[in-house]
Structure 1
Amino acid sequence: MLKEKLNRCALLRLCLLLSAVCLCLHLYVELMGFGWRGWKRGTPVPLSPKRPPRDRRGPTATRPASNAAKRTVSYVLVPKRDPGVAKATGASIDPVPTSTRLHRQVPRWRIELEPWASDRHSLEDEAQRFLNYITTPQVICEDPDPRVKLLQEIHEGTQNPWLLCLDGRYSLARRVYSKHCRVYSLGLGLEEKHLERLLAHAGCEVHCFDPSIREAHLQDADMWLHRLSVDWRDPNPAIPLKRQHSSTKKLATILNDFGHREVDVLKVDMESAEWKILENLILEGVLRSVGLLLLEVHLHWAGFEVGGDEPSVVRYWFSLLRELEHAQFLLYHSARDPTKPRLFLHRNLFNASSTYTLGWVNTQWPPR
C-alpha cells in the first residue's frame, strides 16, 4: 500500500510539473506573437524634413526633381550604361535633359487595332487600304537645306531606295551639317551600306548591328560594327550565353548600354522581323527618340510571330503604321522593289510587290 501511494504522489507531481511547463510555454508564445505583430504594425520614425534621406545610389547619381520623377521608369531616364561597350566603341554619351527627367512614360502592353476596313472583314478590303496607305506620301521633302545640298545630290544620284529627308523644315539637315548626328542600322551584311558610309563620311556617328561579324565591336572606316542582333525581346536569362547563337537585345536595352538617347536616323532591314520590332519600339516609347525611320517591309508572309488569319494580319500591319502617325511621324518616301516577286500573303493582289522601302520623318524632332 505504501509503495502504491508513493507512485501516485510521484505521478501527481509529474502531472503538475508538466502543466506548469505547458502554461509557461503558452504564455511565452502569446507574448512573442503579440510582440511580433506589434512590430510588424509599427510605423517607422519619420525623418526630419531638414535632413533628406541619403541617396544610396552614390554621390554621382542623378536625383529626381519631384515625386513624379521618382516614379518614372524608362530607358530614357535611367540609363544602364555598359562601361565596356562605351569604352570599346568610343560612343558619345548623351546628357539627360531636365525636361526628360520630369516626363513620365505610361507603359503600354498592346497595340490598339484600327477599325476594320469594311464590315466584310475581307483580305481584299484590308489589303487595298494598307497598300493605299503605304504608297501615298503624307509630306514631300523637296526643299533640301542649302548647307547639305551637295550631300542630297550625291545621295539621290545613287538611285538608292533608302532615301533621306534633308528638307530644311526638319532638323536632320542641320544636325548633319553640324556633324552632330547619330545613325543606327539594323540588318545583315555589309553589302548595302552605301547610305551608312555616306553619312559616316559626312561626319555622323554610325553604328551597324550585324550578328554575323566575328568580333564583338569593330571599326570599319568611319563606322562602328557591333555583333548584336536587335530583337523585340531580351534573351531568356534561363538560357546560358554559350548556348545562344548570337547576342540579342531590344533596341531600348542597347540605347541604355551605349548611353544614347537620340538617334537621328534608324534604318531597319530585318527580313520579316520588322513588324514585331516596330511593335516593341512603339510600346516602349523608343520612337520619340528617333528623328528619321527607314523601314523595309516584307509582305509575302505575315512575319515572325505574327498570328491570326490573313485579314487580321493586314489589319495589324496597318495599325502599326498608324501608330507611327500618332507618334508625329509622316510618310515621305515609298518605293517598291521591282526585283522581288509580286506576292501579298502568298497571293497576287493589286499587282503589289512583296517588298517596300518606306521613309518616315518625325515632325517633332528633336524632342524638347
Structure 2
Amino acid sequence: MQKETEHGNRSQPQPPPAVRLFIKLLVGLKVPGARRAGSSEDGFGFTIISIPSGRGDISPDKSGRIWDAESGGPELWEEEVGPRTVPGLAGYQDENEMTTQRGGIRRQVQLQPWAARQPSFTAEVERFISFITTPQINCSRTLVPDESRDEKAAADLWALCVEGWTLPMIDLQSCVSYSFSMGQKDEAFVKRMLQAGCEVHQFDPGRKQLPSPGPVQRHHTWLDWRGPRTGQKTGLGDATPRKLSAIMDALGHSEVHFINADLESAEWRVLESWVLDGTLRRIQQLVLTVHLQWAGFEVGGNSMEVVRFWYSVIRELHSAGFRLLHSSEGPGQTVLRHSLPNTRSTYTLSWVNTRGRH
C-alpha cells in the first residue's frame, strides 16, 4: 500500500467526470421516506456473523478546506460547485450556505476511534475495506439480477435475501421497492422487482419527460439529506430533492422492503441522515453503491478523517441491525486519489435489516 508520506504537493482533488456532470445537473439532493407493512408470515431465515465495535469522536472542519496531516498541504474534499441555483432545481441553496445563514452546526454520527489508535490513512482504509467486503449474514435463498445466468455470476452485482418470501407477491402482500439511480443503471434491479411482484418506484431526475411504463412508477425527484425548504410542496410533482422519509410519506409507505441506491457520492450524507432521523428503521433491505474516488458531497477533512467518517457511517448500519449479505467490486482502483492494492473505487453492498421484519 502506498505510504502516507509520499503524497507530495498536490492540486485540489476533483470528483470523477461522471460526478462532475451529476453536480452540474443536481448539486443539491433531498431524501425520501415511508413504508408499507408486509405480511406477518414473511420471515427471514439467516445466520448472523458477529462483528466488533468501537466509538470515538473528532471535530469536523467547518469550511471543508483543511491541512492534510500527511502531506502538510491543504486539501479540499468538497467540490466547488459555483452558483447556488441549478437549472431544474430552482430555489435550491447549498447546505453550507444555509448553515452559515442560520448560524447552526450540522449534527453528525459519532465517529469511531482511530483504527490504529492514532491517525493513519493506511489503517483507516484497511479497516474500512475489510468491513465492507466481509459478509455478516448467510441467507439460504437469494434473489439476484438474472436467474437465467449462473447464480454465482448473477450475484456479482447484488443479492437480496428472500427466505420466507412467497414470490411473486400479489395483492395485499405486495412488497414495495424503490430504486434511485441515474443513467438507467438500475434496469436489472427494476426488472427483478417487477418479476417479484413488487410495487416498483424508480427515481431519476434525468428522465423528466419519460412516461411510466406499465407497473413502474417513475419520479423525477431525488434524494437529499436536508429537511424541506420553506414553502416546499409535499407531493412529488417536481424535481425538488427530498428526504427519504418525505418521499415515503408522500407515497403512503410506512416502510420499503427493497431499496437500490446509487447516489453518485451523495450516499454518505444521505446515510448519515437516515441514521440521525430514524429512517433506517423503515427499510428492510438496502442495495447501496459507495464511491471512494473522492470524499463525496459535503464531506470535508483530510484523507484519514474522510475514511474514518465513511467507516463510522457504515458502522451505524450495523448498530441499527443491518448485516452485510453481499459485496461486489466495481471499477477503478483508487481511494481518495491513492492507488492502493486490493481495493476498488466502487463497491455495491447488499444489506439486510435483521430487525426489520414485522
- Structure 1 and Structure 2 fold alike (TM over 0.5): yes
SS of residue paired to 1:330: strand
| Unaligned stretches of 5+ residues in structure 1 | 1-74, 80-92, 97-107
The higher relative CO (CA closer than 8 Å, separation ≥ 6) is in 2
Query: How far apart, in 1, do the equivalents of 2:145 and 2:301 lie?
Result: 47
SS of residue paired to 1:358: strand
The amino acid of 2:352's aligned partner reads V
- CA gap of 1:150–1:121, structure 2 versus 1, over 3 A, is closer
Query: How far apart, in 1, do the equivalents of 2:205 and 2:145 lie?
Result: 34
**Displacement after TM superposition at 1:163 (Å):** 2.2
Query: How far apart, in 2, do the equivalents of 1:150 and 1:319 lie?
Result: 29
**Corresponding residue of 1:188:** 182
| Matched-pair contact (CA < 8 Å) for 1:301–1:345 | yes
Query: How far apart, in 1, do the equivalents of 2:149 and 2:333 lie?
Result: 31
**Corresponding residue of 2:350:** 359
The amino acid of 2:345's aligned partner reads S
Sequence identity of aligned pairs in percent?
36
Match of 1:221 among 214, 217, 224: 214
| Matched-pair contact (CA < 8 Å) for 2:204–2:219 | yes
The amino acid of 2:353's aligned partner reads N
The amino acid of 2:212's aligned partner reads Q
| Matched-pair contact (CA < 8 Å) for 1:300–1:354 | yes
Match of 1:118 among 110, 116, 119: 116
Match of 2:131 among 123, 133, 150: 133
Match of 1:259 among 252, 257, 268: 252
**Corresponding residue of 2:283:** 290
**Corresponding residue of 1:205:** 199
**Corresponding residue of 2:226:** 233
The amino acid of 1:311's aligned partner reads M
- CA gap of 1:246–1:155, structure 2 versus 1, over 3 A, is farther
**Corresponding residue of 2:141:** 144
**Corresponding residue of 1:305:** 298
Query: Cα RMSD (Å) of the superposition?
Result: 3.2
**Corresponding residue of 2:159:** 164
| Matched-pair contact (CA < 8 Å) for 2:181–2:204 | yes
SS of residue paired to 2:128: helix
- CA gap of 1:161–1:233, structure 2 versus 1, over 3 A, is farther
CA shift digits 1:145-181 (9 cap, x unpaired): 8xx899866694773644233352xx5x347545520
CA shift digits 1:305-325 (9 cap, x unpaired): 001111111111111111011
- Further displaced range: 293-302 or 228-237: 228-237
SS of residue paired to 2:259: strand
CA shift digits 1:195-242 (9 cap, x unpaired): 211211331101011111224x842232111010111124543899xx
**Displacement after TM superposition at 1:350 (Å):** 3.0
- CA gap of 1:114–1:345, structure 2 versus 1, over 3 A, is same
SS of residue paired to 1:281: helix
The amino acid of 1:255's aligned partner reads M
Pair 1:347-2:338 in alignment:
yes
| Matched-pair contact (CA < 8 Å) for 1:117–1:126 | yes
SS of residue paired to 2:348: strand
| Matched-pair contact (CA < 8 Å) for 1:175–1:181 | no
SS of residue paired to 1:319: helix
| Matched-pair contact (CA < 8 Å) for 1:162–1:195 | no
Aligned residue pairs total 255
| Matched-pair contact (CA < 8 Å) for 1:201–1:222 | no
